[in-house]
């Protein structure tokens, strides 16, 4: 076990120093990878390559089809174990070592690069920037500090991280600096129209069938709304795990709703929960109380089944927060 370093004053520089000194790195992110995890993993791999290093890019789960057109995506291998003589493992947007769900990470020097509100200094070197719109934004800053060239392929991956983590520049993490970042990426060769088409207009039919099942289960209660799908719905729709992405937003899109959640029954009957807010309710506080985490307006956790019990548990935590809100116009 490598001893923890004291929190560095300039974590970006400290990360860069480790990258410069080492030769071979493992790069990974969280399970059920999203646009930010996939894009930031590939872009960091490309940066390391430019620095003359060897980067092994891995994920415990397979890459969702909507990200399969990202340049360099084939360099991410789906593995369950970290195998190799790595100088360090780099975990992107994980708030614990367990979020990567890879065996064998403990024996390496760990670098944690995260932008979650629930980010924690669990690694030997921790760079947590809760202001960054995506982990990709942090990789971009690392690349600039390393004087690396932002190639069109890197720009495409990085643009995908910020597009998806801001929900198409809609969520509360969208700042003036987010547009400046996106602007730089488009100048560097990211094609926003093609990327939007790949991410938002390339859905599988199974996803829409599953959405139909979820909408049939939509419930509204004052400032809250929720929907769910059972294993039966998943099977009937021929849906894959990735088809669940974004379904929660349909409940959140209702006028007057301040927080929404989506429950999905997994094959082992446990319940995967996606929580979203419009800003007034801190859904990360609920997710972390229930063993998960995330951002103020987008968080998640997994609860034991059956589904009605998980639903009660979430409502038990959410109802008081919704009741405490000032009355609205809806």
Q: Interface with ligand AMP by CB under 6 A: which residues?
A: 30, 95, 99, 118, 274, 292-295, 298-301
91-130 residues in contact with Mn ion (CB under 5 A) are 93
| Cα 93 to Cα 294: distance, rounded to the nearest angstrom | 10
| Cα 97 to Cα 109: distance, rounded to the nearest angstrom | 12
How distant is the alpha carbon of residue 25 from its chain centre?
21
Pairing of strands 298-303, 271-277: antiparallel
Q: What are the residue ranges of helices labelled H in the chain? A: 11-21, 35-50, 135-145, 152-165, 176-187, 192-200, 205-216, 231-236, 248-252, 283-289, 307-323
Shortest gap between Cβ of 274 and ligand AMP (angstroms)? 3
Shortest gap between Cβ of 188 and ligand AMP (angstroms)? 25
In the list ligand AMP, Mn ion, none, the entry touching 114 (Cβ below 5 to 8 angstroms by class) is none
Nearer CB in complex with ligand AMP: 156/274: 274
Task: Check residue 84 and report its DSSP letter.
Answer: S
Binding of residue 245 to Mn ion (CB under 5 A): no
Q: Bridge partners of 55?
A: 25
**H/E stretch holding 295:** strand 293-295
Tell me the Cα Rg of the chain: 20
Nearer CB in complex with Mn ion: 135/210: 135
**H/E stretch holding 91:** strand 88-92
| Cα 98 to Cα 105: distance, rounded to the nearest angstrom | 9
In the list ligand AMP, Mn ion, none, the entry touching 242 (Cβ below 5 to 8 angstroms by class) is none
76-95 residues in contact with Mn ion (CB under 5 A) are 93
| Cα 230 to Cα 233: distance, rounded to the nearest angstrom | 5
Shortest gap between Cβ of 304 and ligand AMP (angstroms)? 14
Binding of residue 137 to Mn ion (CB under 5 A): no
Among 165, 233, 243, 282, binds Mn ion (CB under 5 A): 165
Nearer CB in complex with ligand AMP: 125/299: 299
By three-state DSSP, how is residue 117 classified? coil
Instruction: Pick the stretch among 66-74, 143-151, 157-165, 177-185 that binds Mn ion (CB under 5 A).
Output: 157-165
Binding of residue 242 to Mn ion (CB under 5 A): no
Pairing of strands 54-59, 76-78: parallel
In the list ligand AMP, Mn ion, none, the entry touching 297 (Cβ below 5 to 8 angstroms by class) is none
Q: Number of residues in contact with Mn ion, rule: CB under 5 A? A: 7
How far is residue 34 from each of residues 73, 94, 219, measured CA to CA in Å?
A: 13, 12, 26
| Cα 201 to Cα 33: distance, rounded to the nearest angstrom | 19
| Cα 152 to Cα 19: distance, rounded to the nearest angstrom | 23
In the list Mn ion, ligand AMP, none, the entry touching 301 (Cβ below 5 to 8 angstroms by class) is ligand AMP
Quick note: the x/- pattern for Mn ion over 28-67, rule CB under 5 A, is ------x-xx------------------------------
Shortest gap between Cβ of 302 and ligand AMP (angstroms)? 6
Task: Check residue 223 and report its DSSP letter.
Answer: T
Binding of residue 233 to Mn ion (CB under 5 A): no
Nearer CB in complex with ligand AMP: 298/310: 298
Nearer CB in complex with ligand AMP: 55/263: 263
In the list Mn ion, ligand AMP, none, the entry touching 40 (Cβ below 5 to 8 angstroms by class) is none
Q: Residues in the site for Mn ion, rule: CB under 5 A? A: 34, 36-37, 93, 134-135, 165
């Amino acid at each position: 076990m490598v001893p923890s370093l004291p929190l560095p004053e300039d974590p970006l520089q400290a990360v860069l120093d480790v990258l410069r000194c080492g030769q071979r790195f493992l790069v990974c992110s969280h399970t059920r990878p999203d646009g930010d995890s996939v894009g930031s993993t590939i872009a960091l791999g490309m940066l390391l390559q430019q620095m003359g290093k060897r980067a092994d890019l891995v994920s415990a789960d397979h890459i969702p089809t909507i990200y399969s057109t990202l340049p360099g995506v084939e360099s991410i291998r789906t593995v369950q174990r970290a195998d190799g003589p790595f100088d360090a493992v780099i975990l992107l947007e994980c708030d614990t070592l367990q979020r990567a769900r890879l065996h064998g990470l403990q024996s390496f020097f760990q670098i944690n690069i995260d932008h979650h509100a629930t980010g924690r200094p669990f690694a030997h070197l921790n760079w947590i920037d809760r202001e960054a719109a995506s982990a990709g934004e942090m990789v971009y800053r690392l690349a600039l500090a390393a004087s690396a060239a932002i190639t069109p392929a890197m720009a495409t991956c990085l643009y995908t991280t910020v597009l998806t983590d801001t929900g198409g520049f809609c969520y509360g993490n969208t700042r003036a600096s987010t547009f400046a970042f996106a602007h730089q990426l488009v100048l560097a060769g990211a094609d926003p129209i093609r990327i939007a088409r790949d991410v938002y207009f390339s859905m599988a039919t199974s996803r829409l069938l599953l959405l139909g099942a979820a909408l049939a289960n939509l419930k509204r209660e004052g400032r809250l709304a929720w929907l769910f799908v059972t294993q039966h719905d998943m099977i009937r729709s021929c849906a894959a795990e990735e088809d669940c992405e974004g379904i929660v937003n349909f409940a959140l899109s209702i006028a007057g709703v301040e927080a929404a959640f989506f429950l999905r029954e997994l094959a082992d009957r446990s319940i995967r929960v996606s929580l979203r807010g419009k800003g007034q309710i801190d859904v990360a506080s609920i997710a972390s109380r229930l063993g998960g985490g995330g951002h103020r307006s987008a968080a998640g956790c997994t609860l034991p089944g059956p589904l009605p019990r998980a639903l009660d548990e979430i409502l038990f935590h959410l109802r008081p927060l919704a009741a405490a809100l000032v009355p609205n116009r809806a």
